[in-house]
Chains A and B, each alone.
Chain A
Amino acid sequence: MALKSINLSIPAGKTTILLGQSGSGKSTLIRIINGLIQPDGGGTVLFEGLPLTRQNALALRHKMGYVIQEGGLFPHLTAYQNIALMAGYLGWATDRIDKRVTELAQLTQLPLDMLSRFPAQLSGGQRQRVSLMRALVLDPDLLLLDEPLGALDPMIRSELQTDLKDIFQTLGKTVVIVTHDIGEAGFLGDLIVLLRDGQIVQQGNLAELVQTPAVPFVTQFINAQRSPLEALTGNS
Chain B
Amino acid sequence: MKKNSWFILVCFMMTHTTLLAADTNLTVKIGSKIHTESVILGELMTHLVNHAGVKAIHRGELGGTQVLWKALKRGDIDIYPEYTGTMTRELFAGSGLKTLDDIRGRLLQDNILMTNPLGFNNTYAISMKKAVAAKYGIRKLSDLRHYPFLKFGFGESFMARNDGWQSLRQIYQLPQTDVRGLHHDLAYQGLNQGAIDVVDAYSTDGEVAYYDLQVLEDDLQHFPKYYSVFIYRADLQERLPQVIKALQELEGKISEAEMTKMNARAKLDKVPENQVAADFLAEKLALKVEIPEDSLWSRLYQLTIEHLILVSISLFAAILVSIPLGILAFKSRRLGQIILGIVGMIQTIPSLAILVFMIPLLGIGNFPAIAALFLYSLLPIVRNTYLGLHDISPQLRESAQALGLPPMARLRLIELPLSYRSIFAGIKTSAIINIGTATLGALIGAGGYGQPILTGIRLDDVGLILQGAIPAAVLALLVQGLFELAERWIVPKGLQVKSR
Q: Which residues of A contact B (CB under 8 A)?
A: 34, 36, 57-62, 66, 68-70, 72-78, 85-86, 89, 118-123, 134
Contacts and interface: CB of A to CB of B under 8 A. Distances in A.
Given A86-B404, A86-B405, A123-B500, A77 B494 contact: yes
Contact of B414 (A60, A62, A74, A121): A74
Interface string B483-500: 000000000111101111
Residue in A34, A73, A74, A123 with the greatest tally of chain B CB atoms within 10 Å: A74
Interface string B251-268: 000000000000000000
A74 B403 CA distance: 12
Given A76-B417, A76-B418, A121-B499, A89 B405 contact: yes
Nearest to A120: B499
- Main SS at interface, chain A: loop
Given A72-B398, A76-B417, A78-B494, 5 more contacts: A62-B404, A66-B403, A76-B495, A86-B403, A121-B497
A61 B494 contact: no
A75 B500 CA distance: 13
A217 B401 CA distance: 35
22 contacts: A57-B404, A59-B404, A61-B403, A61-B404, A66-B402, A66-B403, A68-B399, A68-B402, A74-B399, A74-B414, A75-B396, A75-B418, A75-B495, A76-B420, A76-B495, A77-B492, A85-B405, A86-B403, A118-B493, A120-B494, A121-B500, A123-B500
B403 A36 contact: no
* Interface size range of chain B in the complex: 20 to 34
Residue in A76, A119, A120, A121 with the greatest tally of chain B CB atoms within 10 Å: A76
A177 B401 CA distance: 19
A142 B395 CA distance: 21
A70 B497 CA distance: 18
Contacts of A66: 399, 402-403
Contacts of A85: 403, 405, 413
Contacts of A69: 395
A58 B404 contact: yes
Contacts of A75: 396, 418, 494-495
Contacts of A122: 500
B160 interface: no
A12 B414 CA distance: 33
B96 interface: no
Interface string B370-407: 00000000000000000000000001101111111110
A89 B396 contact: no
B491 to A, nearest CB: 8
A89 B497 CA distance: 25
Given A78-B494, A118-B497, A119-B494, A36 B398 contact: yes
Nearest to A74: B414
B100 interface: no
Residue in B404, B409, B498 with the greatest tally of chain A CB atoms within 10 Å: B404
Contacts of B398: 36, 68, 72
A100 to B, nearest CB: 15
Contacts of A68: 395, 398-399, 402
Contacts of B409: 89
Contact of B418 (A34, A74, A120, A134): A74
Q: Which A-B residue pairs are the 9 nearest by beta carbons?
A: A72-B399, A61-B404, A76-B492, A118-B494, A120-B499, A66-B402, A76-B494, A76-B417, A62-B404
B402 A120 contact: no
Residue in A58, A119, A122 with the greatest tally of chain B CB atoms within 10 Å: A58
A1 to B, nearest CB: 16
Contacts of B492: 76-77
A120 B496 CA distance: 9
